[in-house]
């Protein structure tokens, strides 16, 4: 009889995306086959304490019990290279991108530099430093409306659309509560789109899922945190894109994945402008896998599901890390 692999699912963590991570982890736990794997539920508190199946335990003791870690964390600590460095120190196989590409993807400023190097179309921006910015000057010199976003955050946390100097000042202060650096980015009118990719799936080196069109309801100007996780948007898959737009979105998602050196899976967000073409906004190295998340919607559209995806990612991890 074959010994079952021991899979530790990490979820929670000291990030504003704690609740989303708990839900992603719960979906992964449910998707894992209890016949094939021995599964450990590892909850990390907002204070950074680790609990294995409800019992407080040191990270070293948790990881010594597992053959592989499925990383269901999001945001700071889980997605920015920190947990990846811990797992690399313990030499345990883990899902998702390595520490350096994870840190690069999480830093919107550095990620945009990489995108620019290979000629991807990205919005213009100005970087603000905490306690050293002049909102009035930015308002006078940067085209309005504009997008304000933290340089290091996911799930659209801290993002605002501004059109006045007062709004810009307030939005920047809010964003600085999340990150020490903030982007002022040009607002590009158009349809919001997202496209996930998976490594070595269905005989493709990087398989692009079907692009989703995101339509926030009237009370939401864009796909913000509340819209993402409270069902206040329409997620249309396949999106209402031309064949040319669909192919370009899929190709751009692959290019973004490669430009940042990501592995296993990622999801990139775009604006499709009727006049200016397709702009890449950012790439998420650990997209959510909750019932309201976009990647599972894309999986369903191609005849797959979360259990197949989880099984595939575990297989990739065992191949690349063992």
Taking every pair of C-alpha atoms in the chain, what is the biggest distance, in angstroms? Answer: 71
- Model pLDDT for residues 62-96, shown as the tens digit of each residue: 999 999 999 999 998 999 999 999 999 999 999 99
Rounded to the nearest angstrom, the gap between the alpha carbon of residue 228 and the centroid of all alpha carbons in its chain is 12
Rounded Cα distance between 267 and 195, Å, is 6
pLDDT tens-digit profile of 94-121?
A: 999 999 999 999 999 999 999 999 999 9
Would you say 185 and 109 are in contact if contact means Cβ atoms under 8 Å apart? Answer: no
Position 165 scores a pLDDT of: 87
Q: For residue range 262-273, what is the model confidence (pLDDT) as tens digits?
A: 999 999 999 999
pLDDT of residue 177: 87
Do 42 and 51 touch, CB atoms closer than 8 A? Answer: yes
pTM (predicted TM-score): 0.91
With a cut of 90, say whether residue 158 has pLDDT above it: no
**Which parts of the chain fold into alpha helices (H)?**
18-31, 59-63, 82-89, 99-106, 108-117, 135-141, 165-176, 225-229, 243-259, 294-301, 306-321
Q: CB neighbours of 134 closer than 8 A, spacing ≥ 6?
A: none
| CA-wise closest residue to 168 among 190, 187, 153, 188 | 187
Cα 297 from Cα 63, distance rounded (Å): 32
pLDDT at residue 223 is higher than 80: no
Residue 56's Cβ-count burial label (10 Å; 0-12, 13-18, 19+) is exposed
Residue 276 pLDDT grade (very low, low, confident, very high; cuts 50, 70, 90): very high
Mean pLDDT of the chain: 91
Whole-angstrom Cα Rg for the chain:
20
Report the pLDDT averaged over residues 166-181: 89
Angle at 10 between CA 27 and CA 55, to 5 degrees: 105
DSSP string, 285-317: SS---STT-HHHHHHHHTT--HHHHHHHHHHHH
Q: Which of 7, 84, 45, 26 is nearest to 293 (CA)?
A: 26
Indicate the pLDDT class of residue 225, thresholds 50, 70 and 90.
very low
Tokens of 235: 């997620």
Residue % of the chain over a pLDDT of 70 = 93
Which is higher by pLDDT, 34 or 137? 137
Per-residue pLDDT at 138 exceeds 70: yes
**Cβ-proximal residues to 201 (8 Å cutoff; 6+ apart), any chain:** 207, 312
Residue 83 token pair: 């947990």
d(CA 239, CA 41): 35
pLDDT at 2: 60
Choice among 129-133, 144-148, 229-233 with the minimum mean pLDDT? 229-233
Q: Could you tell me the domains of the chain?
A: 5-94 (3.40.50.20), 104-121+189-321 (3.30.470.20), 125-186 (3.30.1490.20)
On the question of pLDDT at 222 being above 80, the answer is: no
- In which residue are the tokens 């907002």 written? 46
Give residue 279's pLDDT.
98
Residue 256's closest CA among 148, 84, 122, 125? 122
List, for residues 177-205, the tens digit of each pLDDT value.
888 899 999 999 999 999 999 999 999 99
Short-list 64, 56, 105, 57, CA closest to 87: 64
> In the chain, what is the straight-line distance between the N-terminal and C-terminal CA atoms, in Å?
21
């Amino acid at each position: 009889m074959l010994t079952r692999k021991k899979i530790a699912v990490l979820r929670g963590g000291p990030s504003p995306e704690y609740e989303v991570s708990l839900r992603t982890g719960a979906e992964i736990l449910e998707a894992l086959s209890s016949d094939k794997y021995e599964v450990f539920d590892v909850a990390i508190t907002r204070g950074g304490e680790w609990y294995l199946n409800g019992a407080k335990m040191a990270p070293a003791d948790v990881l010594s019990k597992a053959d592989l870690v499925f990383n269901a964390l999001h945001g700071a600590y889980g997605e920015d290279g920190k947990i990846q460095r811990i797992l690399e120190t313990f030499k345990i196989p883990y899902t998702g991108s390595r520490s350096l590409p994870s840190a690069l993807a999480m830093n919107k400023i550095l990620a945009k530099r990489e995108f620019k190097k290979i000629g991807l179309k990205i919005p213009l921006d100005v970087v603000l430093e905490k306690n050293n910015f002049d909102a009035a000057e930015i308002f006078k010199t940067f085209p309005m409306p504009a997008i304000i976003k933290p340089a290091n955050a996911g799930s659209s946390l801290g993002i605002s659309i501004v059109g006045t100097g007062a709004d810009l000042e307030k939005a920047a202060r809010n964003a600085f509560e999340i990150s020490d650096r903030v982007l002022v980015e040009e607002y590009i009118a158009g349809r919001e789109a997202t496209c996930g990719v998976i490594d070595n799936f269905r005989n493709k080196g990087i398989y692009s899922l079907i692009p989703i069109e995101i339509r926030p309801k009237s009370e939401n100007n864009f796909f913000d945190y509340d819209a993402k996780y409270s069902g206040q948007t329409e997620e249309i898959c396949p999106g209402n894109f031309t064949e040319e737009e669909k192919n370009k979105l899929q190709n751009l998602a692959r290019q973004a994945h490669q430009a940042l050196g990501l592995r296993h899976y990622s999801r990139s967000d775009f604006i499709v402008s009727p006049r200016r073409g397709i702009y890449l906004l950012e790439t998420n190295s650990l997209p959510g896998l909750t019932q309201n998340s976009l990647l599972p919607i894309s999986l369903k559209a191609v005849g797959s599901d979360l259990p197949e995806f989880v099984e595939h990612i575990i297989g990739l991890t065992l191949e690349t890390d063992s």
